[in-house]
Amino acid sequence: FQKHEFFVDMTCEGCSNAVTRVLQKLGGESFDIDLPNKKVCIDSEHNVDTLLETLKKTGKNTSYIGEKSA
C-alpha cells in the first residue's frame, strides 16, 4: 500500500466525520485524520486521482500533498 497525504480544509468534527464517511465507502482504507493541521493520511491501493475525487465528495477544498514514507 502507498501512504498518501492530502490537505482537506476541515474546520470541525463534522468535517472529519464527512471525510471518514467517504473513505469508508471506498472500503478497506486505513487512514488517519489530523484535524488541527487539516491533513488526511491514507494507506491505500487506490491511485491518487481516485482518493482525491473521493475526498472532494465532502465538498471541502482538497489537495494532494504527496507520498509519505512509512
pLDDT for res 70: 59
d(CA 6, CA 37): 11
- In the predicted structure, residue 69 carries a pLDDT above the cut 90: no
Domains of the chain: 2-68 (3.30.70.100)
1 or 41, which is more confident? Answer: 41
d(CA 57, CA 20): 11
- Count CA atoms closer than 13 A to 3's CA, side-chain side: 8
Q: What is the mean pLDDT of residues 9-22?
A: 97
- What lies within 8 Å, CB to CB, of 61 at 6+ separation is 7, 8, 9
21-68: per-residue pLDDT in tens?
999 999 878 999 999 999 999 999 999 999 999 999 999 999 999 998
Cell numbers found for residue 50: 481516485
Residue 3, judged by CB atoms within 10 A of its CB (0-12, 13-18, 19+), counts as middle
